[in-house]
Amino acid sequence: MKTRMRRGRRGFTLIELLVVLVILALLAGLVLPRFLARGEDAKVKAAVTQIGNFKQALQLYTLDNGEAPSPQQGLEALIVEPTSSPRPREWKGPYLQDTTTIPLDPWGNPYVYQAPGPNGEDYFVASLGKDGREQGTGPDADLTSSQSQQ
């Protein structure tokens, strides 16, 4: 006994497949930018948190030694006792925990450190944002210790 194949529709037409693809593309166009923006927001928050950690460590360093590390000593003075002048009076570090090197910012750029800071502060720490250059806007904006609330 032979079974007969139905001569009806066997699959989707090209038009139906194209309509589904267009709908999926529209949905992706609406949803993906929101997820991508979340990733950029997370990087900004991570940089602000790290700058806050640097501020706290620099405050402890300054309390112990009477002054912030010199620009030549840099943020590395928070991990390893400086051997260059000015030598710290009572280095009680490491002041940053769980790290053997100064981390890069979330965009892979080194943090900027100045001592004294530009506005009469003891020090200044900054991330130059996504573009790695000064004076950016939006995701390229600089994030500084002057802005940080920690």
pLDDT tens, the chain, 150 aa long: 555 555 665 788 888 888 999 888 888 888 877 766 677 778 888 888 898 999 999 999 999 998 999 999 999 999 999 998 888 888 998 998 877 889 999 999 999 999 888 888 889 999 988 877 777 777 677 787 776 554
pTM above 0.85, yes or no: no
Q: Quote the tokens at residue 50.
A: 């790290």
Cα distances from 130 to residues 1, 5, 39, 76, 94, in angstroms, run 71, 61, 12, 23, 29
Cα distances from 107 to residues 8, 130, 142, in angstroms, run 57, 6, 12
Please give the full DSSP string across 111-146, using - where no structure is assigned: PEEESS-TTS-S-EEEE-TTTTSSS--GGG--EETT
In this structure, whether the domain defined by 15-144 belongs to CATH 1.25.40.90 is answered with no
Give the pLDDT confidence score for residue 104 in this predicted structure: 92
